[in-house]
Structure formats: C-alpha cells, structure tokens
A = this chain, B = another copy of it.
Amino acid sequence: MSKMMKAAIFVEPNRIVLDDKPVPEVGPLDALLKITTTTICGTDVHILKGEYPVARGLTIGHEPVGVIEKLGSAVQGYREGQRVISGAITPSGHSAACLCGQHSQDGTGTKHGFKAMGGWRFGNTIDGAQAEYLLVPDAMTNLAPIPDGLTDEQVLMCPDIMSTGFSGAERGAVRIGDSVAVFAQGPIGLCATAGARLMGATTIIAVDSIPARLAIARKMGADHVVDFTQCDPVAEIMRLTDGRGVDVAIEALGRQETFSAALRVLRPGGTLSSLGVYSGDLTIPLDAFAAGLGDHTIATSLCPGGKERMGRLMDVIAAARLDTRPLVTHRFKLDDVEAAYDLFANQRDGVLKVAISV
C-alpha cells in the first residue's frame, strides 16, 4: 500500500482542495522531492477558475523548493538529502526542441519533437508542486542544487517568476544604454524590470497602477514609474524618452491594451518582448506597426527551465544582484493552501506572492 501525502488538487472549476494522494512511485529517470516551500502562480488561478483546463484530480503548482527524497535508478550526480529546486518548465533535454535550444517547446513523445508549451508539465500534464512530495521527471536535466546559505524564500522566485521575467529582457536583447518600458509590475513584470537593469538598460520605465508595486519597481531598478490611472502611459513614455520611444517594450500582463501600448512606445526597429498569457485574439494596430515596414520584432517567451538556468538565477541571488524576497508578501502552511488561494485569487491585502511552507 502506498504511503499517502497531502496535495492541492483541482477538483472542478472554482474548487482546488487539499486532499490525500499516494506519494508517487519513482521511475528510473525521476527524482522524488520532499517539498519544503512552494507558491501559487497566476496561472494556477486561471486553472482554479476553469479558464485553463487541466485534468480533474491533478495536483497544482509548478514552483518547487525541496529536498531530494529518492533518486531514480538511472539518475546520477545527485544525492538524497540535497536541497534543490526545479524550474517550472521541466524539459527532457533530448527532444528536437531541446536540441535546438528551445527547451520550453519540448515535444518529447511527439513525432517531431516540438510541442507548444510542451516543457510545462508540473501542475499541467503531471502532478505539481503544491504537495508534500513532487516527482520530478528527467531529474538530471532539471534538478539544481541550492547554493549554501540561501534560504527557501530567497530562491522561491527562481523556478518561474524570475526566469520568466528575465526572459522578457533577454528576448528583447537589451543592450547597455537601452531604453526599456515594462508594462505591468506584477511579480513577473517586476522581475522583467530587474532583468532589464541587470542587462544594462539605462532608462527603465515601469508601468502599473498600484503604488506599492511601483515602489517595488523602483527597488527592482526602474528609473521612472508611470501610473496609468494618472496619465496616458503612451504619452508619458514618449515624454520620458523625449519623443524617441524605447528600444525594448516588455508586455507582462497579457492584455490587448498593454500589448498595443507596448507597440506604440517602441521606436522603429525595436523589439516588443511579450511575456503575457493572452485570452483572446490579439490585434496589432497598423499605425504602431508602420504597416509592417518598421523592422519591428515581436518575440514571445515561455519561462526557460532546466538546471543550468536555475543555477544561473540562484547565482544572481547569491551574488546579491537581486533580492526577490520583497515579492513574498504573505506566508501560509500547506494545510492552509485553500486560504492562500482565496487571498491570492482575489488579490486581497496587496498580495504579490505567497510562500507556502510544507
């Protein structure tokens, strides 16, 4: 008889509940983690609301911090008891997509090796991290040891928020001296702001409407903050750049308004780096797009995963280049995960991210 564990399970739309589930069996390439800390993502709220469909009975969550409980028979290079994280995206390493460097579109198991968003498995196609134990597939590709001296909360943003946010700056190919506008300063937008700063942008403009988020945006590296309820953000960004527009505009919300605004503030030849998850067809406004003749680039990205990425991000934390702890505004026990969802889904009490200790 299997050992049992507690897990946050999707039962039906609007119901994620903490329930018992067997601790998973460990296959040859897997690792079993004992989760110590995890968190809830905006995507999990879409799942909760039934806006993003997953199988009933699935354990939710894709941001694991934990300890290796058991290693698969073919897994080498780790030891049980080691503190590790895994990215939200867990590529196999061997699909065609992985071999092309596009690990997030991992199509392992498909004929040609590419599958849109295929690298996202935790809490999507396999059981996730909001549980006492998590089975990590392709463990040798995905487990990243936590450097000594870093706490769980220090690395809790690495699996998704920080990796995604940074990819906004990276896909924008931010260069020293660039101007960058970041639309929306939720956790991912804040990390995009930090990423732009880390890559050398010298005019970083953060847009949001919540004063507390704009205040953190400054800490994360924004030179200017724009409250879109107080002004037209497009006009304000053009004013701040003296009419030039920005080299890179990062969309971190997933709405038509911010997508359009990002294109409108972009200089000819600039890049719109899109991080948002959109919920309907998107419109590209013709004028902002120079009718297709502006040498613009629109680049999307899905959270980069894999142990090498995770190691780099933890190095950023360890080297004190960024402290993401201000993003954790509330703390819960796994036993109270339903309350955590209630707070987070309703965005009450100024919540940015919750830490769930197990």
Interfacial residues, chain A to chain B (CB-CB below 8 A): 27-29, 73-74, 76-77, 92-94, 96-105, 107-109, 111-118, 120, 138, 140-141, 166, 170, 175-177, 195, 198-200, 202-203, 223, 242-245, 254, 267-269, 274-286, 289-302, 306-309, 311-313, 315-316, 318-319, 321
CB atoms of A243 and B112 under 8 A apart: yes
* Protomer copies: 4
- CB neighbours (8 Å) of A313 from chain B are 177
Q: Please measure, in the bound complex, the distance between the C-alpha atom of A157 and the C-alpha atom of B89, giving whole angstroms.
A: 36
The residue from B101, B268, B316 contacting A101, defined by CB atoms under 8 A apart: B101
- CB neighbours (8 Å) of A283 from chain B are 281-284
CB atoms of B308 and A100 under 8 A apart: yes
- CB neighbours (8 Å) of A99 from chain B are 93, 103, 141, 306-309
CB atoms of A74 and B74 under 8 A apart: yes
Q: Please measure, in the bound complex, the distance between the C-alpha atom of A268 and the C-alpha atom of B301, giving whole angstroms.
A: 10
CB atoms of B93 and A295 under 8 A apart: no
Q: Please measure, in the bound complex, the distance between the C-alpha atom of A107 and the C-alpha atom of B140, giving whole angstroms.
A: 12
Q: Check A245/B93 contact, CB under 8 A, given A76-B109, A278-B286, A292-B276.
A: no
Q: In the complex, which residue of chain B has the Cβ closest to the Cβ of A319?
A: B202
A71 shortest CB reach to chain B, Å: 14
A98 shortest CB reach to chain B, Å: 6
CB atoms of B286 and A100 under 8 A apart: no
Q: Check A321/B200 contact, CB under 8 A, given A114-B244, A300-B294.
A: yes
Q: Please measure, in the bound complex, the distance between the C-alpha atom of A307 and the C-alpha atom of B202, giving whole angstroms.
A: 17
